[in-house]
A = this chain, B = another copy of it.
Amino acid sequence: MSYKVEFITRLFQKTSSKAIEHYCLTRLWHKLDNDEIKIVPQQYVNRHSDKYALTDVYFPQFNIHVEVNEPAHYSSAERIESDAVRKKEIESNTGHKLYVIDCQKELKEIHNQIDNIVSIITRALEAQQKNGTFKPWQPDAERDPEFWKLKQTISTTDEISLPNIEAICTLFDAEFNKTKRGFLRLGGLPHPKNHEYLLWWPSDKARQGWQNQISTDEEEITETHADATKKAHHYKAHLNTGQKRIVFFHHKDVLGLTSYKFKGVYAYDSQKSNANVGTVWKRICKTMNVNLTGI
């Protein structure tokens, strides 16, 4: 089975916890009927500084979100009002559009609402195809480091998900063998063209006492250690370092497979780092050339 078949069928299967949301997701996909359109369930969105939202369905190529509202959403004036505030906040914070499917209605009316969103997306697709900005969804290619090596420029909006550490090394022409130290695996490797840049593949799972945490908006990574002495030592060793980190954060994808997602380039945050909190890395850019040209 091709990766795309496995990906989309497993995605449908994994998102079946809410029946009506799942129904709308499958209908949007099948009615769009274009396997170059990417569909993302449960997309993280900033509302404002201390609030965030998960939208039910997201079409990243078109900056379009869809919310599937079960009848309970219309049970009170307060609920309706708070949904409206949420919609406004999401749209103004992201510049994206949010469409709502009202599922109080009969099946035919739910279908009409979905068909309407399908027309909007189809028109947006046609406009992008016309002006040459459409980026087709290619999950197989997106996992292939050679694909990105050829492109040279990588960006967080490309949603690059490399399958393993070896693939990260391939992308930057780093020697994968150097990541091995006996039974251990190094947490990073210098960029072969400039040792000020570290290729880093942190995880939020504790590894040999190391613990990393990425903020919900992904702007900040905190590096700490369960052992106070090691934490303090690490903090001192990196104090005001000029090192930059090219980050591929470890996560599990919808298929339950491990992958490493490109998050951008991070630099030492001298204001937030301290011996108590640990070392804090702040994102400095979301787009880079893999050969470090133009940086």
Contacts and interface: CB of A to CB of B under 8 A. Distances in A.
A9 B23 contact: yes
Interface in A51-107: 70-71, 103-104, 106-107
A6 B71 CA distance: 12
Contacts of A196: none
A125 to B, nearest CB: 17
A295 interface: no
Given A12-B26, A16-B12, A30-B26, A35 B5 contact: no
Interface in A1-53: 1-2, 4-6, 8-10, 12-13, 16-17, 19-20, 22-23, 26-27, 30-31, 33, 35
Contacts of A35: 107-108, 111
Nearest to A28: B30
A16 B19 contact: no
A115 B71 CA distance: 33
Interface residues of A, number: 31
A288 interface: no
A104 B2 CA distance: 8
A10 to B, nearest CB: 5
A27 B23 CA distance: 11
A154 interface: no
Interface string A224-252: 00000000000000000000000000000
Contacts of A117: none
Contacts of A23: 8-9, 12
A110 interface: yes
A5 B71 CA distance: 12
A16 to B, nearest CB: 4
Interface string A262-281: 00000000000000000000
Given A1-B103, A12-B26, A35-B107, 15 more contacts: A2-B107, A5-B103, A5-B110, A8-B23, A9-B20, A9-B22, A10-B19, A13-B16, A16-B16, A26-B26, A26-B30, A30-B30, A30-B31, A35-B108, A35-B111
